[in-house]
Chains A and B, each alone.
Chain A
């Protein structure tokens, strides 16, 4: 069964303390991997899409990387406003036609950045 696993479930960082979140996937073929940020009580906000191993994308203090089995979201010198739940989702090659648009989500990593 295709799976997406995010770790850790929760992470507390001091302001300025860099770290990484992990998204590992056991899927038969990856079409794309997506990162989202979700604030409490709100809808997910799109951050990055990665399509092939070795690809990297950056936005402010965030950098996403992709290998053949996992993706990392690196957070450099985080600030309290980076506190949120970060979701990873994969789009599978196995699906064709309309099904190819589906995303399979991990359960998220809840990040807390303490001032």
Chain B
């Protein structure tokens, strides 16, 4: 089974702090993704990575950065946390091509509920 783990289930930080969210997958997936999920807005893509040291902006990258130094690990960084970054953060990973020939079913981690005070 695919396993995606996230470093914390719950996190409380103060405004202005630098925050690191870590995600690890154990299935040798090429692609990794960071989303945030907010009531009424659904899942929105922040950043994704298709290879080590490679990254692409998603729909809402402002205020975030990412790091992928190893294939299995993808970190989301909030350079200076703000209250509007209070949210559920979800990491996902996928193969480039599924066994069925499709392009990469995404498998999600359990999420990190971040509160910025």
Contact = CB atoms under 8 A, between A and B. Distances in A.
A103 B110 CA distance: 18
B86 interface: no
Interface in B20-62: 31, 33, 40-45, 48, 50, 54, 56, 58
A79 interface: no
B105 A49 contact: yes
Contact of B56 (A32, A45, A87, A98): A98
Contacts of A44: 43, 90, 108
A107 B104 CA distance: 21
A107 B107 CA distance: 18
A101 B48 contact: yes
B108 A51 contact: no
A59 interface: no
Contacts, number: 63
B98 A49 contact: yes
Q: Which residue of B43, B90, B96 has the most chain A CB atoms within 10 A of its CB atom?
A: B43
Contact of B50 (A34, A91, A101, A108): A101
Q: Give the size category of A's interface with B.
A: 20 to 34
A101 B50 CA distance: 9
Interface string B96-107: 101010111111
A91 B98 CA distance: 13
29 contacts: A31-B103, A32-B102, A32-B103, A36-B108, A42-B111, A43-B4, A43-B90, A43-B109, A43-B110, A44-B108, A46-B106, A46-B108, A49-B98, A49-B100, A89-B43, A98-B48, A98-B50, A98-B56, A101-B31, A101-B33, A101-B50, A101-B96, A101-B104, A102-B45, A102-B48, A103-B106, A107-B41, A107-B42, A108-B42
Given A45-B108, A91-B104, A108-B42, 12 more contacts: A36-B108, A43-B108, A44-B108, A46-B105, A46-B107, A49-B100, A49-B105, A87-B43, A91-B103, A102-B48, A103-B106, A106-B42
Q: Which 6 A-B pairs have the closest CB atoms?
A: A43-B108, A107-B42, A105-B43, A98-B50, A44-B108, A43-B111
